A and B are shown apart, each in its own frame.
Chain A
Amino acid sequence: MLISKELFFFVRSKKFVLLGLISASITISQAFILSRTISKVFLERNVLSDIQTLIYIFIIFSLIKPLINFLQNTLSHSFASKIKSNIRTSLLNQIPSALLLQERTGSAINTFLTGVDKLENYFAKFLPQLFLAILIPLFILILVFPIDFITGIVFTFTAPIIPFFMFLIGSIAEKLSQKQWKSLKLLSAYYFDVIQGLPTIKLFNRSKEVLRKIEEITNIFRIKTLSVLKIAFISAMVMELTATISIAIVAVAIGLRLLSGNFNFAEALFILIIAPEFYLPMRQLGISYHSALDGISACDSIKELLASSNRNNINNNNEKIENLTSREIGLFIKNQSPNNFNSSEISFKDSKNWIKSYLETAPIFFENVTFAYNERNIKALDSISFKIEPKKITAIVGETGAGKSTLMNLLLKFFEPTEGTIKAGEFNLEDINEIEWRQNIAWIPQNPHLFNKTILENIKIAKPEASFEEVVESARRARIHNFIASLPNGYYSFPGEGSSKISGGEAQRIAIARAYLKDAPLLLVDEPTANIDPITEEEIILDFFNLFRDRTVLIIAHRMDTIRKADRIVLLQNGRIAGIGSHDELLKTSDYYKKIFKEQDEKQSPNIQ
């Protein structure tokens, strides 16, 4: 849709309409003055001093007009800025789930930055121009009709041809050329592909052939595109011709009537000067048409990104949930120790500490939890029920796609279960404010993200108010302190910098340091599998278990040592629970579990000749 409801902003904005009218009036007045001046000199033999005033007025108008146009421009630009800012804000408020799943992060960033920027031309150029293309011709038409009926008729009948052809471009020729633009995009995708694959091309000694192919494809494309554009250009030509030929008709028609003496020269000249101004806004609209198309396609990808969010209006609900939680916790405390507490006096901070101590004794329950990332998809988790015991290690074991990460995402409240409930003790996780909840979780993902900030800041994200000594202490406990201290800038080094480039193992240790610093009762860990060499990996696992002491731990496990040390193992298979129990129990009860371990055992006894 080319004309959206935002157009009405320009119509509703009295300032904008007023500026448009003033600008048009000035243009018309100038044409009027000019024709009068020339007529006076030409026919009435006036000398310069007689018409000096007229020229000065003309100059004054020339100086005012830029100011008006400047204001018009600023107004539409600030309108576009406001829209851009609003869209970015709502994108950030809704956290597209594409980001949480780490899918298509690149295209999300692209839409957030470049896509939103593309709206600029649409809102700041196309829409105002569309408005002016209606306003100015109408204005001129109203003035011209009383002066010369015939010109009025010519204008009236030729004017619609331009928008008509513009929309014809929009429907027929443009569709064709849009197809070509699409293949242009394909062509650049092909080129990018080829450049990216250059090492492969060299490996196969095919550079010359590929070069020839680029040449061939671009040539074919050029010829095909031009044959399409040939047609598309015709409608552009008709637009152009309409304007010029109707000026020619008007000029000749007026000239002939001047000859017969029933027309005034000044008025004739006025019409001739104003005629191009009549067509100009409509022709300019045609020019901004392409950028409008760009804006519309950007709009689509923004909408798509917004729609991918399953956390609608999360910010609006925050307050409600906070109140509810504090009240509930207050009630609970009252029930536990009725004489010591007054629920109304419990501050936010108290309740937080309370959850913390509560979690030290309360188990977490999954009760028939089902989750699907979206309606069409298969269930990532299917009616899962199990218990995470406090201060024990619960290991999740399963193949890729079994639902292990989904389980973590739910516990972190990145997503809410589609069906069923997760409970912390007696509280439904849904009712607990997500920020309060996460304050009690330390999380070590497979590939911890290190921000483009100093290592100090990277550790401190776990506890922004932590002192330097606290950070060093947690780094020591994570056995990363010596490494950090060996960097040229120590704790003030950046993770990406040249020689201080952080390896996967070091990143893991920084995540462990974060967890020590946060000192949360609940620990969620995804054991590393890749990017770390086996020896470092073993060391890190040892560090993990130091951290695990006295905490409730849920760990996605990939190593036998870890699994053996876990108090309880939850075996997942295709989103369902295939077994729960200790290592020995599972070996007895689950064939699937036995199968996994048998493969391991075979591996462990290497075939030494």
Chain B
Amino acid sequence: MKNKAQIFNKLLKLTLDYKFAMLTATLMAFLAVGSGIGLMMTSSFIIASAALQTPIFKLQVAIVGVRFFGIARGIFRYLERYFSHNITFKLLAKFRIWFFQSLEPLIPSKKFDLTSGDLLSRATEDVESLEHFYVRVISPPLVFLGISLLMFILLGIFDIRYSFIFSILFVGSGIGIPILTLILSRKIGIELVNLKAIIEETTVDYFQGIKELLVYDLYENWKKEILSLQNQILALESKMNKIQSLNEILAGLFMNLTVAVLLFVAIPDVNTGKLNGIYLSVITIGIMASFEIISQMPLAFQYLSKSFESAKRLYDILELPYAEPKKAVSPNIINNNFYNLKVHNLNFSYDGIRNTLSNINFELKEREKLAIVGTSGAGKSTLANILAGLLPPDSGEILIGNTSYYDLAPEQIRQIISLVPQKVHLFAGTIRENLLFAKPDATEGEILEALQMSQLQSFIERLPKKLDTYIAELGNNLSGGEIKRIGIARALLRNTPIIIFDEVTSHLDPFTESAILDSILKISKEKSIIYITHRLTRMDIFNHIIVIQNGQIVEQGKHSELIKHGFYYSKLFYSFAKRLE
């Protein structure tokens, strides 16, 4: 998106809440550097004055000044660190909350699989990298500016020419050198990023296919390929390092040059008496001390462009189009007590070209059990997401009772419909916390009932800490089936009139699968059920089965009828039955 100025403005706006804190921290940083300059200048003043046998009482103020600056520097540095860390943490929290808030309406997205690990870990890393925005990007230039002004004024007391000579060289090294190295390294930087992406892609590809590489005797070739990529990167990095080392090296050169040039200008002034000789050393040493801040400037520029990139990637995600969530029109639907679900001519497409779902029609009466059957990629999970109000349909109508989905806020839809998704996400924390996530005020009795229904009670009984076991503690001991069952229990706790189970029995052994189907039978006495599956076990328990292929309903009816027809469903069924599980 957009140009850099816009991104910078947006970032700055996010930080503005903390402008006073930032100002304080910057002031402390300025005072710390300033004290360093003060220490060196007063010190040389004492020495130079003493060399002229100035009476000691005339030096008392300077001696106090030296002590003051010596101590002040440490204290200001301390305060600066404290304040700037405080801001850093605050900013990180701010950026995190901002990203969460902005991302929330986009998920699940039509365009991208935003829940894919890569994209998200990239995004969270980007959010984290913005935490340095104040310390690295905002603060150093401000301090630099302050010190430039301070030195301009201090030197101006003696002669305005000194101020200008100093300023030109000081700004040159503080801004000119970093920009120079940034320009010099830009091409290499881009090349490096590209190469690093390639080596990462290749390594992932090859590490995942390592067995194939070994079996087909390609491992040695592959090793050479990766190592040669690595060597290209190392060569570029070494170039990059050389360019970046210019920052430090040239800053030192500029400092010495500034001193030399000023000596050339100031020495004749001393000779003519325009400048008191005492101040020759004071000025020289002051200039040397002021260059301390220069060392932070290159980093500021580097972090600035890094922050741009991170922010750009984040905005690219956040500016994906999404349907504005609707305000509720029928606030009282929950009390309707009439939860027939009716889907009429539903169409949905992810890319606007190919329909993932076309012309879907079905009806789910209260307390009925509907199975949606089809191979993977047929569009079943998309349908589940639409029914749960996570994705808006492109066209067609969905009615709960007599209320259209278009008149309901997604939150309202989900007060009526629960979904156990194909990928159950358990949060870090205890099993209990994960269950309570669905219903924070659930009683112990309700939890027990949900556990029983989802066939989890014996598993929980075997755990030493029972429900208070941390998910992470279980690690590999938590099987895919158990994760699914926690997901089921969680959905049951919400006690909605309609529940959608999306592939809950894949990865379960036949015994558990059967037990879960028993539970679903039991649940269905009070609730309507939509059961999505590609595993055709005990299909006779469902009132109605719809068969989806390539986004369309190709067959529907009861199990016995469909078997008798001998079409797609019966083919699916018989070949499935031959599997040894």
Q: A190-B428, A193-B427 are in contact. Are A43 and B107 (CB under 8 A)?
A: no
Considering the complex, give the chain B residue whose CB is closest to the CB of A284: B295
The CA-CA distance from A46 to B39 in the complex, in Å, is 28
A307 interface residue per 8 A CB criterion: no
The CA-CA distance from A199 to B199 in the complex, in Å, is 32
Q: A109-B207, A244-B73, A258-B50 are in contact. Are A559 and B579 (CB under 8 A)?
A: yes
Q: Binding site of B, secondary structure by majority: helix, strand, loop or mixed?
A: helix
Distance from A128 Cβ to chain B, minimum over Cβ atoms (Å): 12
Which one of B90, B96, B440 has the greatest number of beta carbons of chain A within 10 Å?
B96
Contact of B214 with A538 in the complex, beta carbons under 8 Å: no
User: Quick one: CB contact mask for B134-145 with A, threshold 8 Å, 1 for yes?
Assistant: 000000000000
Contact of B271 with A41 in the complex, beta carbons under 8 Å: yes
Within 8 A of A (CB), among B412-447: 414-415, 418-419, 421, 424-425, 427-428, 437-438, 440
A303 interface residue per 8 A CB criterion: no
Q: A461-B212, A530-B506, A607-B540 are in contact. Are A62 and B260 (CB under 8 A)?
A: yes
Task: From the candidates B216, B248, B559, name the one contacting A69 in the complex (CB within 8 A).
Answer: B248
B576 interface residue per 8 A CB criterion: yes
Contact of A608 with B210 in the complex, beta carbons under 8 Å: no
Please choose the segment from A336-344, A443-451, A469-477 that sits at the chain B interface, where 4 or more of its residues have CB less than 8 A away: A443-451
Give the chain B neighbours of A608 by CB distance below 8 A.
540, 559-560, 563
The CA-CA distance from A439 to B424 in the complex, in Å, is 42
Contact of A226 with B89 in the complex, beta carbons under 8 Å: yes
Contact of A558 with B580 in the complex, beta carbons under 8 Å: yes
Considering the complex, give the chain B residue whose CB is closest to the CB of A43: B51
Task: From the candidates A48, A199, A533, name the one contacting B271 in the complex (CB within 8 A).
Answer: A48
Task: Classify chain B's interface size.
Answer: 35 or more
Contact of B216 with A197 in the complex, beta carbons under 8 Å: no
Contact of B209 with A451 in the complex, beta carbons under 8 Å: yes
Considering the complex, give the chain A residue whose CB is closest to the CB of B575: A534
B326 interface residue per 8 A CB criterion: no
Contact of B425 with A599 in the complex, beta carbons under 8 Å: no
Contact of A604 with B419 in the complex, beta carbons under 8 Å: no
Considering the complex, give the chain B residue whose CB is closest to the CB of A192: B124
User: Quick one: CB contact mask for B223-237 with A, threshold 8 Å, 1 for yes?
Assistant: 100110011001001
Give the chain B neighbours of A55 by CB distance below 8 A.
260, 263-264
Distance from A299 Cβ to chain B, minimum over Cβ atoms (Å): 18
User: Quick one: CB contact mask for A175-202 with B, threshold 8 Å, 1 for yes?
Assistant: 0000000000000111111111111111
Distance from A540 Cβ to chain B, minimum over Cβ atoms (Å): 11
The CA-CA distance from A190 to B124 in the complex, in Å, is 11
Contact of A105 with B104 in the complex, beta carbons under 8 Å: no
Give the chain B neighbours of A265 by CB distance below 8 A.
47-48, 51
Task: Compute the total of residue contacts between A and B using a CB distance below 8 Å.
Answer: 395
The CA-CA distance from A114 to B525 in the complex, in Å, is 54
B459 interface residue per 8 A CB criterion: no
A259 interface residue per 8 A CB criterion: yes
Distance from B161 Cβ to chain A, minimum over Cβ atoms (Å): 15
Within 8 A of B (CB), among A141-199: 188-199
Contact of B288 with A273 in the complex, beta carbons under 8 Å: yes
A221 interface residue per 8 A CB criterion: yes
Please choose the segment from A6-14, A211-219, A383-391, A419-427 that sits at the chain B interface, where 4 or more of its residues have CB less than 8 A away: A211-219
The CA-CA distance from A51 to B266 in the complex, in Å, is 13
Please choose the segment from A81-89, A320-328, A480-488, A574-582 that sits at the chain B interface, where 4 or more of its residues have CB less than 8 A away: A81-89
Contact of B421 with A412 in the complex, beta carbons under 8 Å: no
Give the chain A neighbours of B418 by CB distance below 8 A.
203
Give the chain B neighbours of A607 by CB distance below 8 A.
538, 540
User: Quick one: CB contact mask for A442-473 with B, threshold 8 Å, 1 for yes?
Assistant: 01010011111000000001101000000000
User: Quick one: CB contact mask for A493-508 with B, threshold 8 Å, 1 for yes?
Assistant: 0000000000110000
B14 interface residue per 8 A CB criterion: no
Task: From the candidates A70, A81, A233, A514, name the one contacting B78 in the complex (CB within 8 A).
Answer: A233
Give the chain A neighbours of B230 by CB distance below 8 A.
85, 88
The CA-CA distance from A508 to B234 in the complex, in Å, is 38
The CA-CA distance from A229 to B79 in the complex, in Å, is 11
B458 interface residue per 8 A CB criterion: no
B402 interface residue per 8 A CB criterion: no
Contact of A604 with B577 in the complex, beta carbons under 8 Å: yes
Distance from A151 Cβ to chain B, minimum over Cβ atoms (Å): 12
The CA-CA distance from A200 to B486 in the complex, in Å, is 13
Please choose the segment from B179-187, B276-284, B334-342, B358-366 that sits at the chain A interface, where 4 or more of its residues have CB less than 8 A away: B276-284
Give the chain B neighbours of A258 by CB distance below 8 A.
47, 50-51
Task: From the candidates A195, A439, A443, name the one contacting B120 in the complex (CB within 8 A).
Answer: A195
B253 interface residue per 8 A CB criterion: yes
Within 8 A of A (CB), among B280-310: 280-281, 284-285, 288-289
User: Quick one: CB contact mask for A88-112 with B, threshold 8 Å, 1 for yes?
Assistant: 1100110100011010010011001
B200 interface residue per 8 A CB criterion: yes
Within 8 A of B (CB), among A34-77: 34, 37-38, 41-43, 45, 47-48, 51, 55, 58-59, 61-63, 65-66, 69-70, 73-74, 77
The CA-CA distance from A203 to B124 in the complex, in Å, is 22
Considering the complex, give the chain B residue whose CB is closest to the CB of A242: B74
The CA-CA distance from A85 to B216 in the complex, in Å, is 26
The CA-CA distance from A233 to B79 in the complex, in Å, is 9
Contact of B270 with A66 in the complex, beta carbons under 8 Å: no
The CA-CA distance from A452 to B200 in the complex, in Å, is 12
Considering the complex, give the chain B residue whose CB is closest to the CB of A271: B47
Contact of A199 with B211 in the complex, beta carbons under 8 Å: no
Task: From the candidates B43, B47, B437, name the one contacting A248 in the complex (CB within 8 A).
Answer: B43
A406 interface residue per 8 A CB criterion: no
A414 interface residue per 8 A CB criterion: yes
Considering the complex, give the chain B residue whose CB is closest to the CB of A261: B53
B377 interface residue per 8 A CB criterion: yes
Task: From the candidates A43, A73, A84, A272, name the one contacting B245 in the complex (CB within 8 A).
Answer: A73
A535 interface residue per 8 A CB criterion: yes
Give the chain B neighbours of A347 by CB distance below 8 A.
none
Task: From the candidates A124, A222, A269, name the one contacting B93 in the complex (CB within 8 A).
Answer: A222
Give the chain A neighbours of B506 by CB distance below 8 A.
530
User: Quick one: CB contact mask for B101-114 with A, threshold 8 Å, 1 for yes?
Assistant: 10110011000001
Give the chain B neighbours of A203 by CB distance below 8 A.
388, 390, 414, 418-419, 421
Contact of A66 with B510 in the complex, beta carbons under 8 Å: no
Give the chain B neighbours of A254 by CB distance below 8 A.
47, 50
Contact of B108 with A251 in the complex, beta carbons under 8 Å: no
Give the chain B neighbours of A378 by CB distance below 8 A.
none
Considering the complex, give the chain A residue whose CB is closest to the CB of B202: A452
Contact of B410 with A558 in the complex, beta carbons under 8 Å: no
The CA-CA distance from A408 to B241 in the complex, in Å, is 47
List the 9 closest pairs (A to B, CB-CB), nearest first. Answer: A533-B375, A449-B209, A251-B43, A248-B70, A62-B256, A241-B74, A258-B50, A218-B93, A534-B575
Identify 5 residue pairs between A and B in the complex whose beta-carbon atoms are under 8 Å apart, listed by A's number. Answer: A191-B127, A252-B43, A252-B63, A265-B47, A538-B578
User: Besides A41-B270, A198-B104, A255-B59, 11 other CB < 8 A contacts?
Assistant: A74-B241, A193-B427, A198-B100, A218-B89, A225-B85, A251-B44, A255-B47, A255-B50, A256-B50, A269-B47, A452-B205
Could you list which residues of chain A lie within 8 angstroms of chain B, going by C-beta atoms? 30, 34, 37-38, 41-43, 45, 47-48, 51, 55, 58-59, 61-63, 65-66, 69-70, 73-74, 77-78, 81, 84-85, 88-89, 92-93, 95, 99-100, 102, 105, 108-109, 112-113, 124, 188-207, 209-211, 214-215, 218-219, 221-222, 225-226, 229-230, 233-234, 236-238, 240-241, 244-245, 247-248, 251-252, 254-256, 258-259, 261, 265, 268-269, 272-273, 276, 397, 412, 414, 435, 438-439, 441, 443, 445, 448-452, 461-462, 464, 503-504, 514, 518, 529-531, 533-538, 557-561, 563, 596, 599-600, 603-604, 606-609
